[in-house]
Amino acid sequence: MLNERHAYIKGTGHFAPEPVLTNDDLSKMVDTNDEWITSRTGIKQRHIAPDDMANSDMSYEAARRAMDDAGWKPEDVQAVFLGTVTPDYSFPNTAALVADRLGLNKVPCYDFEAGCSGFIYGLIQAKAFITSGLLDKVIVIGAEKLTSITDWEDRNTCVLFGDGAGAACIGSEGPGGLLGGFHWGSDGSLGHLLDLPASGSRQPITHEAIDNKDNKIHMAGGEIMKSAVRAMRDSALKALEEDGLTYKDVNLLISHQANVRIIESTARVLRLEWKDVYVNIDQYGNTSSASIPIAMDEALHNGTIKPGYKVVLAAFGAGLTWGGIVVRWSDES
């Protein structure tokens, strides 16, 4: 079709706060050690946002860097979509606060909650708006301050999470990373496997809820792992099929950085070699919706993603949600 429109990743950026909390640091807080954490998760350290740093602060930095990378000015941006489970407030939405700091021209902005699948959900939404002709330039952000909802006395979960933000500028003109085939879905019947019980109208935050730590992350790790591998495999394969590709065409897999065992299992069921999988969980921990954009930005700027590469992004998170999308990088560098 002569007038067919496409959506491209034009620039990326990420931000990781200081200080860094190492496994040895955690061993002084709970009954754990570096070997126990590393062997089970692959994590060596995680970034911790200070008390006075909010989601919007990290989102702003990541978005600003993505705009610089794309060569965009504030007046170019037409919308901001932000995936997060840890916004600054229930309202106003964090995306609007970020847009204001970026100096954008009162453009439409919204937050959405899709857990660790948030960034992929955002890319799919941006692709839909751009290919339909409604928008030309959108910023998609995945950002989390998970340490604000972490139970620091639970050694099974406190070792997992970190803070950070990643962003991508999505435009209607190439070259860049062409957003291709995708698949997404959810299953609310399994929502209880990963939740924040006291956080809304179903169970407001009360003194009793705080005493019970219902205002902190609850996770059934074993069940989550089984569901995650299956969902990311299916999402990746269906996205590839929609793009007319198979696993043999994949140059790089960037999956949600939840746990190295989950990443290894996902790569194995997709029949990908480990050299074709990007892993940085050792440096950041699980940053939920921020993990894929952080990893993608790193992979682009350290030369892992090369011109002409076909990259699959795959994620799984609270909801339960999942998603996968193919990104074809232009032959032009």
Q: Which residues are catalytic?
A: 116, 256, 286
Q: What are the backbone angles phi and psi of residue 72, rounded to the nearest 5°?
A: -90, 145
Buried b (16+ CB within 10 A) or exposed e, 97-129: bbbeebebeebebebebbbbbbbbbbbbbbbeb
Confirm if 167 and 141 have CB atoms less than 8 A apart: yes
Interacting residues of 138 by C-beta distance below 8 A, sequence separation 6+:
77, 78, 79, 80, 81, 126, 129, 130, 169, 170, 171
Could you write out the DSSP letters of every residue in 152-182? TT-HHHHTTB-EEEEEEEEESSSSSEEEEEE
Confirm if 270 and 247 have CB atoms less than 8 A apart: yes
* Burial of residue 305, with CB atoms counted within 10 A of its CB: 0-12 exposed, 13-18 middle, 19 or more buried: buried
Distances (CA, A) of 20 to 4, 16, 168, 260, 270: 46, 9, 24, 19, 33
- Sign of torsion, CA 278 281 283 284? positive
Question: Measured between alpha carbons, how far is 306 from 318 in angstroms, rounded to an integer?
Answer: 32
